[in-house]
Structure 1
C-alpha cells in the first residue's frame, strides 16, 4: 500500500479563526537574504524595526516573545499575512526555529495562548 504524505500549505495549521479576518494582520516579515520561512512559522517581532522574524526564545531584540504565525511563505523580506489573535491552530502543523526543543515549543505555545491563539 502506498503511503501519501501531505505537504503543509499556507494556513494549513488553522483550525478556526475570527470572522471577517479578525484574527489576521499584515506585517513586514524579514527572513534574511536568500532565506525562506515556510507557512505556519511561529514569529516574534523585533522591537527596533517592527519587523517579524522567526521566533526564538534565545533572541534579545524583542523577537524572543511570540507575536504571530506566518500564514503564507516568505522569501527574504516582504509584507505578509499573519495570524495575530483569536484562533485555534494545529500544534503539529506549526513550524519552529531549527533546533527547537520540546521545552521551546511548550514556551512558544504558551506565548501563542497569550495572544489568544490556542494550539491543539
Structure 2
C-alpha cells in the first residue's frame, strides 16, 4: 500500500510540490484535464477533480513485483504531481495511460542511449 502513513503522504506531497513547483498534471489522460492544459488547483479540497495528488510512476503493485521495497516505491524519484481525476483514471485501469511528462531527469529510469536498464 502506498504511503504507509498520512505523515509520509503529506511530506511526499510537499516534496513533489517543492521539486516541481506549479507544474501541470504529469498524466493529462482525461479530456477535462487536457481541456485546461493540465492545470492543477493546488488549493482545492482533496476530493475536487482538479486537486493535487502524488502519482507513482511505477505503481506500488508493479514495484513490489520487481522486488522494490515500500520505501523504494515511495521514493521521490518515483513520484510526480497529477490531478485527482487523472490519477483515479490511471488507477482504475480503464484505458492505457499516456506517458508521464518528464519534469526532470530521473537517474533511476534514465539509462541513456544504447542501454537497456536491465
TM range (shorter): under 0.3
Bigger strand share: 1
TM-score by length of 1: 0.26
TM-score using structure 2 length = 0.26
